[in-house]
A and B are shown apart, each in its own frame.
Chain A
Amino acid sequence: MTDAAFGAMSTQLPTSTPLVNPLVLGRKPMADTGPLTHFSLRTGESSIDVNGVTHYYGKSGPTVLDDITLHLETGFYGLLGTNGAGKSTLMRIICTLLEPKKGSVSVNGLDTINDCLAIRGQIGYLPQSFNAWRLYRTEEVLDALARMSGVTDKRLRKLRVKQVLEEVGLDEVADRKVKKLSGGMVRRLGVAQALVHDPGVLVVDEPTVGLDPEERIRFRHLMADLGQNRTILCSTHIVSDLGSGCKEIALLDDGKIAFQDSPDAFVNQAKGRVFEMLVDLETSVQIEDTYEIVSRETVDDKVKLRLVIDRDTPAPEGSTPVDSSTLEEAYLAFMGSIGKFAAVRADEEADLQVEESAKKKKRRARKERKA
């Protein structure tokens, strides 16, 4: 692990003037010289500073976050961890929805407790559990939330809504009511609402739950693009969602930072624990029962397996260590190293159920539409 951006442990707040979202408060960011088509307003630096944050629910509940310190600057950051690791709590604290019991958080140099209102104008948040007013049309949701976020200029707001809808691929369903959107569309709408007022800081909690692979790829690209001039903190337990655009990864485990460094460093820590082997079908079944399989590919009459072992388990015979593992494999390896394979699998099971449920819902919706 390095002491790079994530691990700076910086207690120093930025001295520069806090960023002001130029869209909000009715300011017109561009000279009114012609029709607005596409624009990006984010130019300044943004940051999130989490300083020694400890949190627990109730007066003396179990500690959810334990002395967390993070420093995030412009870029796309991933926050990994199994369900219940404390990711959402940390995000709620950053987004001013919760007050930390100890420590402090500042966004763009503004304290989340004392300047929460100012921070809210500069932050976009996609909660883990998101839906929207069912009777609103897609563009109306964005329009209303943008307006309430301070984008009072109607023309600007309209353009911004259009732009964001295009960015998340919802432009074709702009006038469809929310209740008629699929789960993936609602999730994208959630991303859109977080972006619509063009915030400097974007906090997205499990953004890809319910999205199909294609949508996930699109989301990854979007985040990478947006991360050029924003601070994006993306919480997920689906490591592949972070992609190559991710600047830093922090891994939360039981309320503590278990890892924080670049994706490369994260991949590197997995060296020697990811193996590959080509076996027959019968053997593959035995291997799958014993080891954590990352991927499975049929090659002719053989099965090509990639698996992760923890430090105390010997590699299976016939397997060869992999030189460059994926983020997912690295995550699994890391979790295996701390004895959390089961938790990861539980998350995957939960994801499968969610996906299954989403598919069922889609099928039902299709049937209804046909009917």
Chain B
Amino acid sequence: MNLRSIWSVAAAEMRMNRRLARTWLFIVVTLFMCVGLLINSFVNYSFSSSISSTTLLNSPLMAPYQLYPALIGFFAIWVIFLAFDVRSRDKRDRLDEVVGVLPITNLELVCGRATGITVLMLIPIVALIAVYWIAGVVARLTWPESGIREPELFVTLATLFIDMIPNILLWVALVMAVTVLVRLRVIAAAIALGLVGATIWAQNNVPIYVLNVINTYTVADTLPSFLAPTFTNLEIITHRAGMLFLSFAFLCFAAVLYPRLDKTNKPRLLIAAVVLLSLGTLSIALVQMQFRSEHTSRVEMAATHEPYSELHQIDTDSVTGRLTIRPGGSTHIDFSLDMHSLQQIDADNELILSLNPGYEIHALRLNGSNAPFKFRDGLLAINVSVPIQPSQSFNLEIEASGDLNKDFAYLDTAVDVISSDIFQAFGLLFQGTEAYINSSRYVALVPDLAWYPLPGAHVKRDLKHIRPRDFFEMDIGVVVPNDWNVAGPGQAEIATAGDSRLVSFQPSAAVHEIAMFASAFERRTTEIEGIEFELLVSPGSVTNVDLFAPVLDELKSHVKEMLVSAETYGLSYPYRSFTIVETPINLRSYRGGWRMDTAQSFPGVFAIREGSFLHAGFKAPFDRLAEDKEISQEERLEKILAFLTGYFENDVTGGNIYLAASNNLMQYQTDATGPGAIPLSYLMSYLAGSVSTEQEGFYSAHVTMGTASQGQSAVGIATVARASDGRTLNRMFYDWHINLPNVWEAMLAQPLDEIEYEDLDNSKSNLHVLHLWGRAMAHLTRDWLGNEQLGLLLSELRTRYEGTNYTYTDLVAVANDIGIDITPIFGDWLTNTQLPGFRASNARTVRLPDQEYGVPLYESSFYIENAEPVPGLITVEYGTSDFNESEGEYEVTQPIKIPGNGSMQIALTSEQPLERIRVNPYLSYNRISFSVDVPRRRVYDEVARSEMPLVQAASWQYEDGDSVVVDDLDAGFSVDSTEESRSMPWFMQFLTFALGETTHDQGLASYGTSGFSLVFDEWSRQQLDQAYGKYRRTLARAFRTSTVANVHFAANLPRSGSWKLEYHVPNPESIGNSFGAGFGPGVNFNVQVGERRGRQRWGDFDIWVTDGDRVVPIEFDGESIDDGWNLLGEFQLENPLVTVSVSTNTSRGSVVADAIRWTPAS
């Protein structure tokens, strides 16, 4: 093969394609889209980055993650339209015979043409990246507040040198091979496009363990990190080499098949093609095998540990010694661990510990003597020569070094990459993939890596009811290069000697785990209330820190306020230092186990992810505040501070610094164990956080991984939604992903103590049940006890059990000791799933005698019944304006206890007649709050009496009289459908971000809980305050369709005869803000966007009554439908069992099936 010939053909090909209009069209379109993508990313980020770290996906840091695959991917598709006529073009140009006599081989010809197209496509890619780079640098230097910066160097280089050529060349070669195989270029293009489509389909559908075979972008493997950049690895190199082999194989095939007389030895070329094809396949298979091997290795390690997973044998008292970090090299530990036994360990038995298998153990001494040990798959089994008695202390000295095994961490993660789908995989990638980072610039040693010896097996560590937390003292010196700093628990004592630095950590309180982060950080400290707040960030990340400098005093007083508040409740911060450390974006930010909790919070340390808070666009809003002359300086500073708090309040990625800090107050000092330990620990931690910081939040890796993959528009929607109702993003996400029918059903299906947390398949459901229960319970507890009593309880609990664990019995005992009765709150919460259920009468408002100075006084009273045997608590919100309006002012009562099967009368007084009353049950069958009808009058009855007490016992019961009501949640309600629900089509799936998850509510699909709702041409269930319901107010709803699907309300009437039938229809405007789509099985796709508030009208409902064999159709004119009960007519019924059916065949919009009511006509 003559390279000069190839290049001469390539040059001609480039010139040829350069002249084609489509080439420029492709380039312009791609560049336009990519620049648009960048601009969208930057603009989106500039608007939303100061709101929440949830927008991290849009950050300039992540821009290459989106841009590079798009950029190369587009060109890889375009080359089809350049390469598909390389054969026919010569013929069309009547140049085939001239080309035929050129002194070049067919191989040189096809290689040259492939090279020409590839190089031509590479030029705009390189150009755009170069422009992006330069613009990024210029923007960073001249316009730092824009957030725009150059792409990360290493991943950019990897894209340019490793990804770009194989990606383009493979498609060119493949298309050329197809082109010479099939003569018609249209067919060739169609086949190539089909292959592209198949690849895209495969990327979305193949099992994740196959995905690395078709993932061709470095940036999709490793996130772009400035802190710990990654260029490439052997697997990527092997994969790309495989792609090149395949490319050359296709070119050889094309050369063999090329219809031009060529005396090249075709059999030899064919053999070369087969060999290259084999090499390519083998290379990619090797990558796959390596991936499988890593997974197998993890499975094997987990299997080795599994037999010991419930062994709770020893407890660590202290860890002392030295850790030597050699950046990019090995890690060395020389530790002494004081421990005590929790059980009898006989001679020749083993002490079981976990230690990263990357270590080579140089010395191991038990009580000063060398001890025989086995060390396999990270399981360290130390042979005991002398029996150890329960509670007997012993000392373990260990010296080990090595390159830690990154796969050893998080062995039992509920959602493992190998078993996740593509959307989860993207979400997982976004949350970081590396459990261990050891580069020349950054070293991260998270506790789950077992970089120091951990008692017991390295699985099921988060099953607190089996494996109580191990709290211990520590005194560790960390040796790092002399320009490095280290984040660790407690205050760092720094001593520099020569070219190394010794950073010592000896926290003033116990810890249960140790995380160490080391790098050439810029270190800033400040002291508040005797606690050192240390900030360790990369030098490039200090800009935002400086932005908050003007409010440093306010910030300090804000923190001081929280510290004092916590102290007041007896929850003082336990360490002398709190460190905020910047961590690389590719460091995994969630843990393993069933819960997959955040990995950003450690004792004394908060890990803030690269690209999030430290790079959020605060400057622009701050500048706007500075320019606003209408607000005072004080207000300005308050608003700046509000940005800070709001940012973390809105977090859904586990990066809420307030909650991370509050973890140190309770659960890092003492934790629950025994039956119910997991919910109890959750509750206590939640309470500690809420009383000390007034912040709430939840973290679910399942939610984050789902939202991460659903695009940027989601952030915009979320931001708009947040702006519309004032909820925090975290609260919105709670409503969209936790407060869902399926989670409620799961919670009601089994008592808390029967939940099998070790069943990883149900980890999402279990976690979300925990969040649902925990939040409601925390609110109930706090409201019932009040901050003072709650603080007293938490404080006493922590004092008594600091450094150890407590059980529920211990908690009750502590409460009793300090005179707090927690029984009304908890009841038999562990073993019982029964909840109270509340129904309320309409309110009656009267005018009482005026107060002093003629101030009017109104009293609105209503009855509330708990129709279930379990007592329950409620609060009542009441006010004079609409609750849905953010300016609505309302008051809230203290919790009111309603006895089981009992009722109360509640009387609310006000100077203006109340317009709205809302009952908020904590945990009840009602699930959410519901409104009480408050009839409005021009003149209210005047009564000459004093006001009633807020709450008094009553004997009121909700009654339907002689009527028979069938609600959509009743057993008499049924749907003609063989399938529960169709899954949402892929092109609509992105909506789930904004509309909540698609779940099932008593057998019917439930789309969205976010205020928006989707309506499909199948029946789904929607929760609506204006709907009818015993406890829960729901209705079934469907978009009109000719594919008739019916619902039936079957009623068992006490007697035959004349009955009136009523049909309940909610106010159509109350369903507002919804839009729907109807699509039959592949038939129609109708988007309905007309149901806006104030414009909604019902169509004619298609309803009929079936009485035995008699079917009576009913005319139900949409124009005449009233809100509430509508009389459909009077029927002479012959059978007691009568059915009212409704079809989806309505004349407009959607049809609802809420409830029917039969009342005797007499």
Contact = CB atoms under 8 A, between A and B. Distances in A.
A265 interface: no
B9 interface: yes
B261 A136 contact: no
A193 to B, nearest CB: 6
Given A135-B19, A136-B16, A147-B12, A130 B94 contact: yes
Contact of B263 (A117, A132, A134): A117
Contact of B16 (A120, A135, A193): A135
B15 A24 contact: no
A360 to B, nearest CB: 19
Contacts of B9: 148
Given A113-B263, A116-B261, A136-B16, A145 B93 contact: no
A150 B103 contact: yes
Given A131-B94, A132-B93, A148-B9, A123 B101 contact: yes
A326 B545 CA distance: 99
A26 interface: yes
Interface in A191-214: 193
Interface in B91-131: 93-95, 97-98, 100-105
B96 to A, nearest CB: 8
Interface string A111-145: 00111111011010101011111111000100011
Given A118-B103, A130-B94, A133-B95, A144 B12 contact: yes
A303 to B, nearest CB: 42
B938 interface: no
Nearest to B260: A97
Contacts, number: 86
A334 B939 CA distance: 126
Report whether over half of chain A's contact residues are helix, strand or loop; otherwise say mixed.
loop
A98 interface: yes
Nearest to B102: A148
B20 interface: yes
A114 B101 CA distance: 14
A187 B95 CA distance: 12
Nearest to A128: B97
Interface residues of B, number: 24
A98 B261 contact: yes
B266 to A, nearest CB: 13
A140 B15 contact: yes
Contact of B103 (A121, A133, A134, A144): A121
B261 A149 contact: no
A149 B103 contact: yes
Contacts of A167: none
A133 B104 CA distance: 19
Interface string B1-20: 00011001101100110011
Contacts of B15: 136, 140, 144
Contacts of B94: 127, 129-131
A101 B4 CA distance: 33
Most buried by A among B11, B94, B105: B94
- Identify the interface centre among A24, A114, A135: most chain B CB within 10 Å of its CB: A135
A130 B12 contact: no
Given A144-B11, A147-B12, A117 B261 contact: no
B6 to A, nearest CB: 10
Consensus secondary structure, chain B interface: loop
Contact of A116 (B4, B12, B98, B263): B263
B215 to A, nearest CB: 37
Contact of A152 (B4, B16, B261): B4
A118 B105 CA distance: 11
Contacts of A92: 97
Contacts of A123: 101
Nearest to A135: B19
Interface in B33-74: none
A114 B263 contact: yes
B104 A148 contact: yes
A97 B97 contact: yes
Nearest to A134: B93
A123 B263 CA distance: 17
A271 B15 CA distance: 56
A125 B4 contact: no
Nearest to A123: B101
Nearest to B95: A132
Nearest to B5: A148
B97 A127 contact: yes
Contacts of B103: 24, 117-118, 120-121, 148-150
A95 interface: yes
Contact of A130 (B5, B98, B102): B98
A354 to B, nearest CB: 14
A96 B12 CA distance: 22
A272 B5 CA distance: 57
Contact of A97 (B5, B19, B101, B263): B101
Nearest to B89: A133
Given A96-B101, A97-B261, A147 B11 contact: yes
Among the interface residues B93, B98, B262, which one has the most CB atoms of the partner chain A within 10 A?
B98
Contact of A131 (B4, B95, B100, B101): B95
A99 interface: yes
A98 B8 CA distance: 25
Interface in B526-557: none
Contacts of B104: 117, 120, 148
Given A96-B261, A117-B263, A133-B16, A193 B4 contact: no
A127 B96 CA distance: 9
Contacts of A114: 263
B117 to A, nearest CB: 15
Contacts of B98: 125, 127, 130, 132, 145, 190, 193
Interface in A321-363: none
A147 B12 CA distance: 9
A113 B262 CA distance: 9
B102 A149 contact: yes
A97 B8 contact: no
Contact of B101 (A26, A125, A140): A125
15 contacts: A114-B263, A115-B263, A117-B105, A123-B101, A125-B98, A129-B94, A130-B98, A131-B95, A132-B98, A133-B93, A135-B20, A136-B16, A136-B19, A147-B8, A147-B11
Closest 5 CB pairs of A and B: A135-B19, A121-B103, A131-B94, A127-B97, A120-B103
